[in-house]
Amino acid sequence: MQNYRNFLPEELAADPSFRRWVIFNDPEEEMIWVEWLHLNPDKLDLVTKAKLLLNLTEVSFDNISDEEVANEIYRLSHAIGENNGRKSFRLISFRPHWYHLAASVLLLLFAGFWFNKQTATQQKSEQYRQILSQIKEPLVEELNTSDKAKLVILEDGSSVVLQPKSRITYPKRFEGQRREVFLTGEAFFEVAKNPDKPFYVYASTLATKVLGTSFKVSAFDNDKDVKVVVKTGKVSVFPMTKDAVETQHADEKLGGMVLTPNQQIVFAPKELRLTRSLIEDPKLLELPIQRQSFEFKGTPISEVFATLEKSYGVKIIFDAEVMQNCYLTASLSDEPLFEKINLICKTLGAHYEQMDASIIISSKGC
Amino acid sequence: MYLTLTDLNKRQRIAEENAVLLNLWQQSQAGDSLSFCQLADRLYRTLFNYATSYTSDREFIKDSIQELLIHIWEKRETINIQFVSIYFLKAMRNQLLQEFRRNNTARPLLDLDEIDELSDYQTIETEIEKNEVYSKNQVMVRTAINDLPRRQKEAVFLKYFEGMDNEQIADFMQVNRQSVANLLFKAISALKSAIPVSHILLLSAIITV
């Protein structure tokens, strides 16, 4: 063993043996160092400072979460496994071939941050890896760093209004048995109905399973507890544990804890405990888009488009002069954005196309 | 018994010994894509964190790492590696420099001279703050490290995060050993003065070995 007695803290922090002890918790090195401290009790201060330096640099340079790493490794495995399509990771598909799908589903989720790792979150991380490894399609990641809500359209036509500081990860195409998305932060979902392919939202320590009836869910991050609130319809909620996820994946039924209108669930990850109760204040789950009724009675079309623009954060381009005599009477509710646009266009005999983040309406007037 | 500032178990699970990595690399060279993914998994954190001393654009870093790893996979048969993490870090640096040149106008990235001048502190810090509540001390050290000139920060990363010795760092950064010693000395002095002694003592008092 080297004569560590004359080491400075910064020298000790760079010593391979010392590093194996502090960073990798190597048991053999631990014995050596505990013994050394026993023989050199006056050097406790040295060891403490060196440890502190090492731990602090370790923490300070660490800028990425396990979940993000797992996601990127998944991306890599797909790219080198198939040798194609690697340039398309960040493409977002807007092909609107979904609108044969009828009703839709509303989901509002407010999930925890990805850095809080306790027991349940560790399990979650494992489950993420597990679930990610089964998805064969390239993943797309959308991060909303702006201060406004951002619209994301999934391949099945479901629309997601992603709130600021939130991130959603989803496959480019939903090829498998399930439609699975990963959420960090807050988002408002309108899920296209497809009972054959359940829609799953994995958010922090909680997973939510949706078949296709109309409903609304809200889960708030509050002291690391995750909350789900249902307004209408049915939804199944379960913790991100191995057993629960496997059981839920096994069939298309809604198992686990099924929530019906005006019920809520509180999930305490540390105790792995779900508590179900009635909603005390239904206003709790309202985002601007939820308060929007989308009920129109002889409304000028410019007002209708303005409402949609505001709710979804998209730009709708149309010729106001040509369409000045167009009025809409319709009761739109929880269908995805493009389904709403499609219904409006059908009513008015107009057409629409999607260009980047804008929707262009072409009409000959009414 | 241990100082637990945050969970350090990410790296505990992963023995980053060169022998282990070399073994994975050899299997990768033989065409085993799963081994390559395992290797990438072990090196990912290092590559990502190294890249943050060049830019704070996280998505850009992720894409660069993907490009790099795919490139290495495609060229695996012609690549000869002795020290795995050093090889990948060097390749990472080249990849970043290349991308900066290529994307000079397309991306809101700082050019290389500016990177030396500016600290990444503000953007990265805000990104991190969104996700994690740090203790006062951690924030202080993180701030101090991010405020270091880029070359000093790089040297500290290689020395303490990666565990390279001064000779390896000199070779990696293409400077002589004395320059490395100088960089580290300046960096450590700056860190020491940035963290008030009272905090060190306070922390020391909490730690019992």
Q: Is the pLDDT of residue A4 over 70?
A: yes
pLDDT for the residue B183: 93
Sheet strands (E) in A163-289? 166-171, 179-184, 186-192, 199-203, 206-210, 221-222, 225-230, 235-239, 257-259, 263-268, 273-278
The DSSP line for A131-160 is HHHH--SPEEEEEE-SSS-EEEE-TTS-EE
Task: Tell me whether residues B160 and A58 touch, CB distance under 8 A.
Answer: yes
Q: Is the pLDDT of residue A193 over 90?
A: no
Nearest to A80 among B33, B59, B127 (CB): B33
Q: Is the pLDDT of residue A190 over 50?
A: yes
Share of chain B above pLDDT 70, in %: 67
- Angle of helix B136-147 relative to helix A44-61, nearest 10 degrees, comes to 70
Using a CB–CB cutoff of 8 Å, tell me whether B30 touches chain A.
no
B146 close to B124: Cβ distance less than 8 angstroms: yes
Q: What is the mean pLDDT of the segment spanning B124-140?
A: 49
Residue whose C-alpha is closest to residue B189's, from B139, B132, B149: B149
Share of chain A above pLDDT 90, in %: 2
Q: DSSP letter for A54, please.
A: H
Q: What is the mean pLDDT of the segment spanning B99-120?
A: 49
| Unique residue bearing structure tokens 């009635």 | A278
A58: tokens are: 């370790």
Using a CB–CB cutoff of 8 Å, tell me whether B202 touches chain A.
no
Nearest to A86 among B70, B161, B207 (CB): B70
pLDDT for the residue A194: 76
pLDDT for the residue A139: 83
Task: Tell me whether residues A143 and B59 touch, CB distance under 8 A.
Answer: yes
pLDDT in tens, A265-296: 666 555 555 566 555 544 444 555 655 667 88
Distance from CA of B140 to the nearest CA of A (A): 10
pLDDT for the residue B195: 65
Enumerate the domain spans of chain A.
4-61, 66-285, 292-362
Which residues have CB under 8 Å from A147's CB, separation 6+?
Answer: A164
Q: Is the pLDDT of residue B20 over 50?
A: yes
pLDDT in tens, B35-82: 898 899 889 989 999 998 888 888 889 999 999 999 999 999 999 988
pLDDT for the residue B28: 92
Secondary structure of residue B137 in the 3-state scheme: helix
Q: Report the alpha-carbon distance of residue B97 to residue B110 in Å, rounded.
A: 12
Return the higher-pLDDT residue of A239 and A125: A239
pTM for this predicted structure: 0.46
Q: Report the alpha-carbon distance of residue A229 to residue A216 in Å, rounded.
A: 7
Using a CB–CB cutoff of 8 Å, tell me whether A64 touches chain B.
yes
Of A16-25, A248-257, B117-126, which one has max mean pLDDT?
A: A16-25
Nearest to A57 among B59, B161, B165 (CB): B161
B187 close to B146: Cβ distance less than 8 angstroms: no
Q: Is the pLDDT of residue A80 over 60?
A: yes
pLDDT in tens, A327-340: 888 777 667 788 88
Q: What's at A289, amino acid-wise?
A: I
Q: What's at A242, amino acid-wise?
A: K
pLDDT in tens, A292-322: 667 888 889 999 998 888 777 788 989 888 8
Q: What's at A233, amino acid-wise?
A: G
Which residues have CB under 8 Å from B42's CB, separation 6+?
Answer: B14, B16, B20, B21, B24
pLDDT for the residue B75: 92
Which residues have CB under 8 Å from B47's CB, separation 6+?
Answer: B65, B68, B88, B89, B92
Residue whose C-alpha is closest to residue A299's, from A281, A338, A326: A326
pLDDT in tens, B159-170: 988 888 899 999
Task: Tell me whether residues B188 and A77 touch, CB distance under 8 A.
Answer: no
Q: Is the pLDDT of residue B88 over 90?
A: yes
Distance from CA of A128 to the nearest CA of B (A): 15
Using a CB–CB cutoff of 8 Å, tell me whether A81 touches chain B.
yes
Could you give the angle at the alpha carbon of B50 between the alpha carbons of B94 and B76, nearest 5°? 50
Distance from CA of B196 to the nearest CA of A (A): 13
Distance from CA of B60 to the nearest CA of A (A): 11
Mean pLDDT rounded to a whole number for chain A: 71
Q: Does domain A292-362 have CATH number 3.30.420.40?
A: no
Residue whose C-alpha is closest to residue A328's, from A346, A310, A316: A346
With cut-offs at 50, 70 and 90, classify the pLDDT of residue A229: low
The architecture in CATH of the region A66-285 reads Sandwich (2.60)
Q: Report the alpha-carbon distance of residue B111 to residue B103 in Å, rounded.
A: 10
Q: What's at B39, amino acid-wise?
A: L
With cut-offs at 50, 70 and 90, classify the pLDDT of residue B135: low
With cut-offs at 50, 70 and 90, classify the pLDDT of residue A119: very low
Return the higher-pLDDT residue of A198 and B26: B26
Secondary structure of residue A331 in the 3-state scheme: strand
Using a CB–CB cutoff of 8 Å, tell me whether B177 touches chain A.
no
With cut-offs at 50, 70 and 90, classify the pLDDT of residue A261: low
Q: How far is CA B205 from the centre of its chain?
A: 30
Q: Report the alpha-carbon distance of residue B40 to residue A359 in Å, rounded.
A: 41
Task: Tell me whether residues B130 and A165 touch, CB distance under 8 A.
Answer: yes
Return the higher-pLDDT residue of B133 and A278: A278
Q: Report the alpha-carbon distance of residue B139 to residue B136 in Å, rounded.
A: 5
Using a CB–CB cutoff of 8 Å, tell me whether B46 touches chain A.
no
Q: Report the alpha-carbon distance of residue B48 to residue A64 in Å, rounded.
A: 7
Q: Report the complex ipTM.
A: 0.73
A 90-109 → B contacts, CB under 8 A? 90
Mean pLDDT rounded to a whole number for chain B: 74
Task: Tell me whether residues B11 and A51 touch, CB distance under 8 A.
Answer: no
Contacts of A14 in chain B (CB under 8 A): 159-160, 163, 165
Using a CB–CB cutoff of 8 Å, tell me whether B111 touches chain A.
no
Tell me if A66-285 shares its fold with A292-362.
no
| Unique residue bearing structure tokens 């580290």 | B184
A179 close to A199: Cβ distance less than 8 angstroms: yes
Strands across the sheet containing A166-171: A139-144, A166-171, A179-184, A199-203, A206-210, A235-239, A257-259
Distances (CA, A) of A331 to A102, A156, A325, A346: 15, 23, 20, 14
Nearest to A115 among B2, B69, B131 (CB): B131
Return the higher-pLDDT residue of A109 and B38: B38
Q: Report the 10 Å Cβ neighbour count for A97.
A: 10
Q: Report the 10 Å Cβ neighbour count for A295.
A: 11
Q: Report the alpha-carbon distance of residue A199 to residue B90 in Å, rounded.
A: 43
Using a CB–CB cutoff of 8 Å, tell me whether A35 touches chain B.
no
Facing residues of A274 across strands? A267
Length in residues, chain A: 366
Return the higher-pLDDT residue of A255 and B10: A255
Task: Tell me whether residues B37 and A73 touch, CB distance under 8 A.
Answer: yes
pLDDT for the residue A270: 56
The two most distant CA atoms of chain B are separated, in Å, by: 55
pLDDT for the residue B26: 93
Mutate to test the interface with B, among A35, A49, A80, A223 (most CBs of B within 10 A): A80
Distances (CA, A) of A327 to A298, A305, A318: 5, 11, 14
Q: Is the pLDDT of residue A258 over 70?
A: no
pLDDT for the residue A117: 33
Using a CB–CB cutoff of 8 Å, tell me whether B88 touches chain A.
no
Q: What's at B56, amino acid-wise?
A: S
pLDDT in tens, A15-62: 888 988 888 777 888 888 988 988 898 888 888 888 888 887 887 887
Task: Tell me whether residues B131 and A52 touch, CB distance under 8 A.
Answer: no
- Interface size, chain A vs chain B, as Cβ–Cβ contacts under 8 Å: 135
Q: Report the alpha-carbon distance of residue B156 to residue A95 in Å, rounded.
A: 48
Q: Which range has the worst mean pLDDT, A74-83, A161-170, B173-182?
A: A74-83
Q: What is the mean pLDDT of the segment spanning A129-138?
A: 73
Q: Which H or E element spans position A353?
A: strand A351-355
Which domains does chain B carry? 1-118 (1.10.1740.10), 121-209 (1.10.10.10)
